[in-house]
Amino acid sequence: MSPKAAKKRSKAPKAPQKRSKAMSAPRRARKALSREARTMYAEIQQGVRHLEQSIGEIQRGLRKAEHELEADARARIRELRKDARTHLSALKAKQREAAGTLKRVSSAAGGSWDDIKRTVDSVLDDARATAAAAVERFRSALGG
């Protein structure tokens, strides 16, 4: 055997050392506190838990309010789109009416151009007024 191996065998096994469990700082501090201080500490902890619960309730309420607002906004958008389609169909009808009037008037023989112009201007003014009213309605609905 080598001298190193013999040295290793000759040593008796050591007894395991007993280690104390490491305590966390709050636990050490609590142990050193008086009964009155521990009572106050427990009350403060209870207050912190109550605040955490309150924060959770507020967050849940905010999420619920956000979902309701989003649902209301989607409903309002659907309503505005439906209203826009109605106004657009009315404007397209007026456009067709103006084009038809122009075609009839231009093909009519003997009519004065002043009458034709007045008729077309009347139809176009009506269409412009309808379009302006639709635009104003959408601007007011969007808060602009």
Domain residues for the domain of 94 are 29-141
pLDDT at 59: 94
Structural domain count, the chain: 1
Residue 64 lies in a domain: yes
> Is 115 within the bounds of a domain?
yes
In a domain, 69, yes or no: yes
The DSSP H or E segment spanning 131 is helix 113-141
In a domain, 2, yes or no: no
- The H or E element containing residue 129 is helix 113-141
Residue that wins the pLDDT comparison between 10 and 44? 44
3-state secondary structure of 60: helix
Whether this prediction's pTM lies above 0.85 is answered by no
Give the pLDDT band of residue 75 (cuts 50, 70, 90): very high
